[in-house]
Amino acid sequence: MSVNPEVERVLKDFQAVGKPIGLCCIAPIIAAKVFGSEGVKLTLGKSGDPNLWPYGGSLEAAASFGANVVEAEVSEVIIDSDHKIVTSPAFMYHGKFHEIQDSVSNMVNAVLKMI
């Protein structure tokens, strides 16, 4: 997997100036690739029941890039204060729309608290 160089540059620039970054669904895999060697902490949801968590293999992929992958419920956010990165599972979970919306809202609210 490779990351578009412009996307990687923007993420590193955000980190360099201390701006928080919020990522949900599959997007945290980009942070795993860009910041994995620094041990970035993030979530892509959970592994387990594929009816609820159909993309559980993404956790292993992120870990293979060096990321500290934390299993989290759809309602949870994972905050890496050192990297100022907030992640949530959102659509990595096969749930009701309001659960996904809450997941994204929780991520956005956590990012706003870091500003």
Question: What's residue 95's pLDDT?
Answer: 96
Domains of the chain: 19-113 (3.40.50.880)
pTM of the model: 0.96
Q: How far is CA 59 from CA 13, 24, 64, 92, in A?
A: 25, 13, 9, 11
Query: Looking at the chain, how many residues does it have?
Result: 115
Report how far residue 72's alpha carbon sits from residue 17's, in angstroms, rounded to the nearest whole number: 28
What DSSP character marks residue 90?
G
| Tokens, residue 76 | 């949870």
What pLDDT digit, counting tens, does each position of 8-18 carry? 999 999 999 99
Dmax (CA) for the chain in angstroms is 40
Question: What's residue 110's pLDDT?
Answer: 98
